[in-house]
Amino acid sequence: MDYSEKSIARTLIYSDIFDYPLSYDEIWKYLIADKSVDKQDFDNRIKRINTIVYRNKEFFYIRGKETAISKRLSRYKESLRKIKLAKETIGKLFLIPTVTFIGISGNLAVLNANHSDDIDLFVIARKDTAWTTRLLLVLYLKILGKHRKRGDRDFSNKICLNMIIDEDNLSIPEKFRNLYTAHEVAQVKPLMERGAVYKKFANANKWIVKYMPNSLSEMRKQRTEKANKAIANRLFMPILTLSFFESLARFVQKIIMKKNLTREVTDNGFIALHPKDYKGIILSNYSKKISQYGLQI
């Protein structure tokens, strides 16, 4: 295999960990390579590659995993239903004036969710209001009966606040930068925003091209619904942006979280609630498969 073919195979091996065959456009978007790949060369290689990669109609998959196609199609239908539910809730969450962007992350972002899955949200808050915003979101979601709390056994369609960052922390910290995180950044599905926050987020994370050289340009093509200006913005923003409220919200929530903290990140403007080390598990699995197929680059 030449470099382009290896990149295509590596990309499909990564997605295969999630039982997720890819379309042509998705392979190009998430192409795993440490340098740019010529589009014409990519087109030529993907038409004839058949050592590890196979194709069935619109989907490419790893040899022996054709059954993943039916799984993906089934999850696609379920995901569309969840996206519809998510949009209904997200419109209400923008009544909170410190919210500037909400997108979907995780499996649902790529329309690969099961019926039992929750809905992971990625939120951007106004400068210095990440903890205030999280507190208000949790309270509002509880009122709506949509909040997924720790210990829930049935969390289908519940809302999980996967990550909340503020406008001063749009760039993912260097210590978290790897293929797994690059994928998570690239596959965020933007739903609603104030201003042009998502574009700023994309531009702040140009580092992802180190792992997927086509991903940033594809992110910049995304379109996001604009939130209506709420009266609450003018009435409550001067109060909610006071440093006192942010400090108090951070203090209270950290006390509540303290006894259950594992791998979560609870910095001032960067809150990432991932109790399980999915990154380590997935990257280890990926590395083993790359070695198994002899696809080191």
Q: What is the pLDDT of residues 248-269, one digit of tens each?
A: 999 999 888 877 766 678 888 9
pLDDT at 90 over 80: yes
Q: Which residues contact 83 (CB under 8 A, 6 or more apart)?
A: 104, 108, 111, 189
Rounded Cα distance between 59 and 72, Å, is: 10
Nearest to 213 by CA among 11, 2, 58, 9: 11
Lowest mean pLDDT, pick from 29-38, 208-217, 230-239, 250-259: 230-239
Gap between the Cα atoms of 226 and 197, Å rounded: 11
User: What digits encode the pLDDT tens for the residues 43-57?
Assistant: 888 888 777 888 888
Q: What is the pTM of this model?
A: 0.90
- Which string of DSSP letters, residue by residue, matches 68-80? HHHHHHHHHHHHH
Mean pLDDT, range 48-73, rounded to an integer: 87
pLDDT band at residue 274 under the 50/70/90 scheme: low
Are 206 and 216 contacting, i.e. CB atoms less than 8 angstroms apart?
yes
pLDDT band at 207 (very low <50, low <70, confident <90, very high): very high
Instruction: With beta carbons less than 8 A apart as the criterion, state whether 28 and 9 touch.
Output: no
Q: How far apart, in whole angstroms, are the C-alpha atoms of residue 213 and residue 30?
A: 8
Which domains are delineated in the chain?
Answer: 3-69+282-293 (1.10.10), 74-278 (no CATH)
Return the amino acid letter for 176.
Answer: F
- Whole-angstrom Cα distance, residue 165 to residue 175? 16
- Take residue 251 and report the two structure tokens written for it: 């203090």
Helix (H) / strand (E) containing 253: helix 243-258
CB 75 within 8 A of CB 165: no
What is the model's pLDDT at position 233? 66
User: Per-residue pLDDT averaged across 146-162, rounded?
Assistant: 82
Which of 183-194 are b and which e, b meaning 16 or more Cβ less than 10 Å from the residue's Cβ?
bbbbbbbbbbbb
